[in-house]
Amino acid sequence: MRILLAEDDPLLGDGLRAGLRQQGFQVDWVRDGHAAERELRAQAYAAAVLDLGLPLKDGMDVLASVRRAGLGLPVLVLTARDAVPDRVLGLNTGADDYVVKPIDLQELAARLRALVRRAHGQAQECLSAQDVVLDPAAHTVTQAGRPVVLAQREFAMLQTLLLNAGRVLSREQLEQHLYSWGHEVESNAVEVHIHHLRRKLGAGLIQTVRGVGYVLLRDKVAA
């Protein structure tokens, strides 16, 4: 799950990036408001963590700008501004959640996962389709109650497909969700991950839509 982190404090930003990566997120980190707005408009992120006290352009102005542009991704505001009017302004401007520093890293990760689930119409913490269940917090996958061991990219691919179950995703969309800055993407990386998932979970879960991409089926197709 790829997210954008906008935080100008180098120590805090580095700590959040490292910690969120340990929680299974792919993190792109920017340090000013102009960069945050540019990346939010240019890239496909599952969510954003946005500090309000950013240089060059205030985080609140960034939030207002991307909402005016029609970008609906979940935005969690992370800030030292703890006055009620500030929180109300942030939520009214378009924030989906508002957290005052300092924050526990596990809580931040849990809040992000909840925001992404709700953005995709998922009420339950665990994602499921057919007989496959993925637990994002525990980082586990089971099929018919039996554990399935997946590599990190395979897990991220399955999570993205489950969040978008029934929707066709192109190879480019999957690459954007799976790889943050600095990761070289092999030309056939998506196809390789899909192959491994089919080998481990069966061929009936993920279908190829020729010339378009891949879709994860909620229900098994009748023979």
Last residue of a domain, one of 80, 95, 119: 119
Quick one: 10 and 28 in the same domain?
A: yes
Quick one: 32 and 14 in the same domain?
A: yes
Six-digit token string for 214? 């891949």
Q: For all residues of the chain together, what is the average pLDDT?
A: 89
State the residue for tokens 């491994």: 196
Q: Are 139 and 155 in contact (CB under 8 A)?
A: yes
Q: What is the pLDDT of residue 221?
A: 67
Residue 221 counted as domain residue: no
Q: What is the pLDDT of residues 43-93, one digit of tens each?
A: 889 999 999 889 999 999 999 999 999 999 999 998 887 777 777 888 888
Residue 14 counted as domain residue: yes
Q: CA-to-CA distance for 129 and 208, rounded, in angstroms? A: 17
Show the domain range for 35. Answer: 2-119
Q: Is 174 exposed, middle or buried (0-12, 13-18, 19+ CB in 10 A)?
A: buried
Q: 4-31 b/e with 16+ CB inside 10 Å = b? A: bbbbbeeeebeebbebbeebbbbbbbbb
Quick one: 144 and 183 in the same domain?
A: yes
Q: Are 194 and 157 in contact (CB under 8 A)?
A: yes
pTM: predicted TM-score of the whole model, two decimal places: 0.80
Q: What is the pLDDT of residue 149?
A: 96
H helix or E strand, kind and range, residue 7: none
Q: CA-to-CA distance for 16 and 38, rounded, in angstroms? A: 21
Quick one: 64 and 134 in the same domain?
A: no
Q: What is the pLDDT of residues 140-195, one digit of tens each?
A: 999 999 999 999 889 989 999 999 999 999 988 888 877 665 455 566 888 999 99
